[in-house]
Amino acid sequence: MTTYDADFWEKQYQATDPTWGTTPNAPLVATIPRLRLHPGRALELGAGHGGDALWLAAQGWAVTALDVAHTAVDRIARRAADEGLADSVTAVRCDVTADPLPPGPFDLVWGSFFYAPDREAVVRRAAESVTPGGVLLIVDHGSAAPWSWSSASDYEFPTPAQLAESLEVGPDWTPEILEAPQRIATGPNGQQAEVTDTIVALRRTRRS
Ligand SMILES: C[S@@+](CC[C@H](N)C(=O)[O-])C[C@H]1O[C@@H](n2cnc3c(N)ncnc32)[C@H](O)[C@@H]1O
């Protein structure tokens, strides 16, 4: 059985074309304007090659991008420097299940297709650093693309409401977007397929 630990992700990135995943995820780009947030401080869980982080930084955000894979973090930092965004992107090697998370407050904490052991606990811990008025945004797969690295074909993807509930962030949050839109996605070899995304955006109303 595959263990999705630091070693797994390191090898994944070493074997992956550095340009893969460098464009922002379409659901994130579509969702951010709907959140009506002024660019502030943002924290990303499982940033990969940093497509989202670099895009947000280009929109004026100060982004801290976390990933367990050194290769991914190094590539984000290099690209940020190449694109003149080094002052706006801090790429940090961090195992979010075990290491301390950067101190907030953050106006936005998000993860796109971020999966890790005990992910709900990680997300809850990260959500603590969201300032009142800020947003916790999770973009997940709502279906398996044909090129997915996970081969579990009988897996039932949670609905947005189920996903939001599973996070158990408590009474200080209100659901703002719970949606499962479909789109045509492009895989690593240029192949195309219809996929479903699960989008959960929760706004922090107060800090109790
Ligand atoms: C499916 S990829 C998504 C990457 C990126 N967000 C994207 O949309 O392209 C999941 C990411 O989570 C990272 N990851 C997995 N476990 C982690 C952990 N314990 N701590 C930090 N990052 C982790 C992986 O290295 C990988 O980059």
Taking the CA atoms of residue 47, residue 17, residue 198 and residue 181 in that order, the dihedral angle to the nearest 10 degrees is 130
Pick 6-204's CATH classification: 3.50.50.60, 3.90.1300.10, 3.40.50.150, 1.10.3720.10. Answer: 3.40.50.150
Judge whether 176 and 31 are in contact, CB under 8 Å.
no
Q: Is 112 near ligand 1, meaning CB less than 6 Å away?
A: yes
Question: What is the pTM assigned to this prediction?
Answer: 0.96
Judge whether 72 and 50 are in contact, CB under 8 Å.
yes
Which atom belonging to ligand 1 lies closest to the Cα atom of 25? 8
pLDDT of residue 167: 97
Question: What separation in Å is there between the alpha carbon of 9 and the centre of ligand 1?
Answer: 8
pLDDT by residue for the chain (208 residues), tens only, comes to 678 889 999 999 998 888 877 899 999 999 999 999 999 999 999 999 999 999 999 999 999 999 999 999 999 999 999 999 999 999 999 999 999 999 999 999 999 999 998 999 999 999 999 999 999 999 999 999 888 866 566 788 999 999 999 999 999 999 999 999 999 998 878 899 999 999 999 999 998 8
Question: What separation in Å is there between the alpha carbon of 185 and the centre of ligand 1?
Answer: 19
Question: What separation in Å is there between the alpha carbon of 192 and the centre of ligand 1?
Answer: 22
**Nearest protein Cα to ligand 1, atom 12:** 46
pLDDT of residue 148: 81
pLDDT of residue 79: 97
pLDDT of residue 1: 66
pLDDT of residue 151: 56
Q: Is 48 near ligand 1, meaning CB less than 6 Å away?
A: yes
From the list 184, 183, 166, the residue with the least C-alpha distance to 175 is 166
Contacts of 139 (CB under 8 A, 6+ apart): 25, 27, 28, 31, 110, 111, 112, 113, 197, 198, 199
Could you state, in order of their start, the residue ranges of all structural domains in the chain?
A: 6-204
Question: What separation in Å is there between the alpha carbon of 48 and the centre of ligand 1?
Answer: 5
Burial class (CB in 10 A: 0-12, 13-18, 19+), 62: middle
